[in-house]
Each structure stands twice: as C-alpha cells, then as structure tokens.
C-alpha cells in the first residue's frame, strides 16, 4: 500500500525493556474522548519534535544462520507436490482423532474412579446390582455432565475471561487503519465476518485468536508485534489467526482446556478420598474380594496420577497440530507463504519473547510460545509437553510450498 506507514515510529523503553507507552502514530487523527492505551499508539498526546520520516521500502528480512540451516534440512523431507490443501486435510484428521481421544480419556477416568469409589460403599443397590456396575455407569455419566458444563461455560464466557486476563483493550479503526485493512482483507478471503481487534500493551511480539465461532471471533495483537513487522509479515500473522477462527480452533481450544481441567479436578478429588478414606473396606464382601479390591484401588491410584499427564500431552499435541493447520490456512488466505515464514523468522529472533500477562493455561493460544526461551534454539524438536511445533519445522513446511 502506498502512503504513510503507521509502523514508522519510535517507542520509549523503560528499565525492564518493555515499551513505556510512547506517543501516537504520526499522521493519526485525534479522537475526542479516546483514552490512552498503555503500550499502544493512538492517545491524545501530540508528538514532540518533527515527525519521523516515511518508511522507504520494506524492512530487511531477519537473519538467523542456525535456523536457516535447520529449515533447509527439513524442507528436503517434504514432497515437491505438496499444497496447503494437503496440509489442511492431514491436520484435520489428526485433530479429530485427538479430540476423540480426550473425550474417551475423560469417560474412562471417571468410570474407573466411580467403580472404585462405589466398591467401597456399603450395601449399594441392595444386592440386586453390583456396586461396581453402578459406579462405572455413574462415573461415566458424571464425566460427561462435568465436561458438558465446562464446555457451556467456555462457550459463553471463555473468550471474555481470556481477554480480561490478558489485559487486552479493544482497538478502534481510526487508531490503526492499516491493521484493520489487513484483517479485513484476510476475513474477506476466508469468507468470515470481520473479527474484533484487541491490543495488548506489551513489547513482546505475539498474537492470538479467541471466540466461540467466526461470528464472535477476536484477534489480539501485542503492540510490539505491530511495530516490528512489515505489511506482508503482518498479513501472514493475521492470516494465521483468522485461519484459527475459520477452522473453529478457537472453540476447540476452549473445549480442550475445559476437559483437561475436569480430569485434573476429578483425579485430585479421588486421590484425596483415597488418602483420607482408603483404609475403609467393604465388610459384606467375601474373603476373596480383598485381593480384587487392592488391585482395583492400585489401578485407580495409578490412573489418577497418570491421567492428567496424558491429558496434557494430548492437549499439547492437539495444539501443535492446529498450529500447522493454521499455517496452511494462512497460505490459503494470503497466497504468500513467504510472508508468514519471514514473520516467524523475525519472531524467532525477538529479543523480548515473553508476554507478561500470559500463563501456562493460555500459552497454547499464541502464534509462538510466550513463556519459553525456545526461540534461542528454534531448530530443536518440540517435546511432548510443548504447546507449539519447533519454528524450524513450521518455516520448513511453508518454504516447501514455494518450490
């Protein structure tokens, strides 16, 4: 786009290295009554001194020699005929399997724990029905009910809770017309409504999407990312986030988080019951039940300890798959794999990668991990508990599409 580039401004830095708010964008109109947003240009203060000169040409591509070597090696592993549609189909199948596994794990955990608890209850069913059958059925139904209740809460209030937790503020179009133009272009390309845009006053470079469906989609961007990317790179990042909205990843991520939370609560409750009441045994069972009761209790205890770890692994694996899918979707919307690849390279070299308001419960939503120092070694393979794929893998898949 011709004309003034609203990214061309300088920010003040405090002792912590974070942006201290700075002044408004040069050439941006004043908005009566518009409050100052910390970490984001567009308030009522007038710039001091002459305005910065207009940008002359695109910024230089980020350089990272170790990352480039890792990417070149990974590109060789992908066939030259690969398209973004191939990536989308593959990741959709994998994601469906992960969701099914999470649902099954929730039901199995609740059923086994329910059977164990009822085995130790006196005279359940009056002898007509085995207590274990009652416990298994009741536990499975309880698991489904708890998961459903958490999903309803996440559906109605999850997005607002996340935005509040991140200290995100809504951004008016007049404050950043170019950003709105980029998001609108990608929304039209994807055939989805224009999402709301929020800004997080943080100098770290990152972004995420949330909402229950495309009609209620939200994209949030840090002020640091907005300042440091070229328009093509910004388009790649926004296309990635809108792909999350278009693929309903925003809904699935809230659901997965709710399920992991339910499993953690159920298993923690059972461990407390076993610790304080496990010494009590059923007196009306025969002598042979002692061995079975011990085996059942040991199995349940092991499951209660291991299940949350398994759930977390499934959630992180799910998150990594959806990141690959969103990268492929971004290429479909922007038709420019190089834009997103260059943006990821710049994110890999960010000197301030941590987002102050992020936490372990929300880290998987961001385009890159806002908590870890993984960008110091972006070529390393992501582990079981990693919420994002290695950046070298993501860039390699994007550059494979350029061949």
List the catalytic residues. 241
Tell me the CA distances in angstroms from 21 to 9, 39, 106, 297, 352, one per residue in order: 12, 4, 45, 57, 16
The phi, psi pair for 207, rounded to 5°, reads -165, 155
User: How far, in Å, CA of 380 to CA of 400, rounded?
Assistant: 19
């Amino acid at each position: 786009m011709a004309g003034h580039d609203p990214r061309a401004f300088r920010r003040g830095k405090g002792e912590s290295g974070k942006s201290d708010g700075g002044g408004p964008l040069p050439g941006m109109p004043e908005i009566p009554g518009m409050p100052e947003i910390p970490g984001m240009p567009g308030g009522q203060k007038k710039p001091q001194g002459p305005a910065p000169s207009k940008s002359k040409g695109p910024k230089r591509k980020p350089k990272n020699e170790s990352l480039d070597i890792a990417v070149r090696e990974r590109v060789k592993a992908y066939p030259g005929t690969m398209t973004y549609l191939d990536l989308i189909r593959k990741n959709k199948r994998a994601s469906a399997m992960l969701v099914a596994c999470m649902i099954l794990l929730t039901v199995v955990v609740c059923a086994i724990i329910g059977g164990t608890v009822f085995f130790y209850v006196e005279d359940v069913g009056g002898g007509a029905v085995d207590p274990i059958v009652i416990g298994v059925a009741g536990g499975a139904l309880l698991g489904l009910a708890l998961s459903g209740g958490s999903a309803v809460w996440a559906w109605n209030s999850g997005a607002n809770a996340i935005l509040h937790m991140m200290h995100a503020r809504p951004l008016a179009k007049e404050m950043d017309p170019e950003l709105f133009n980029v998001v609108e272009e990608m929304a039209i390309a994807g055939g989805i409504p224009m999402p709301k845009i929020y800004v997080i006053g943080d100098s770290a470079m990152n972004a995420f999407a949330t909402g229950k469906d495309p009609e209620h989609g939200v994209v949030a961007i840090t002020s640091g990312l907005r300042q440091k990317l070229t328009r093509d790179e910004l388009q790649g990042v926004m296309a990635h986030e809108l792909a999350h909205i278009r693929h309903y990843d925003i809904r699935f991520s809230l659901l997965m988080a709710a399920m992991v939370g339910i499993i953690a609560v159920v298993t923690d409750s059972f461990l407390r019951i076993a610790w304080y009441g496990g010494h009590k045994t059923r007196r009306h069972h025969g002598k042979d039940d002692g061995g079975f009761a011990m085996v059942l209790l040991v199995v349940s205890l092991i499951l209660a300890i291991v299940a949350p770890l398994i759930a977390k692994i499934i959630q992180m694996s799910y998150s990594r798959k959806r990141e690959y899918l969103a990268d492929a979707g971004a290429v479909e919307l922007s038709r420019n794999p190089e834009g997103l690849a260059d943006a990821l390279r710049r994110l890999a070299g960010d000197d301030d990668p941590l987002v102050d308001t992020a936490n372990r419960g929300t880290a998987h939503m961001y385009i890159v991990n806002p908590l870890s120092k993984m960008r110091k070694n972006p070529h390393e393979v992501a582990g079981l508990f990693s919420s994002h794929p290695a950046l070298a893998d993501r860039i390699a898949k994007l550059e494979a599409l350029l061949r």
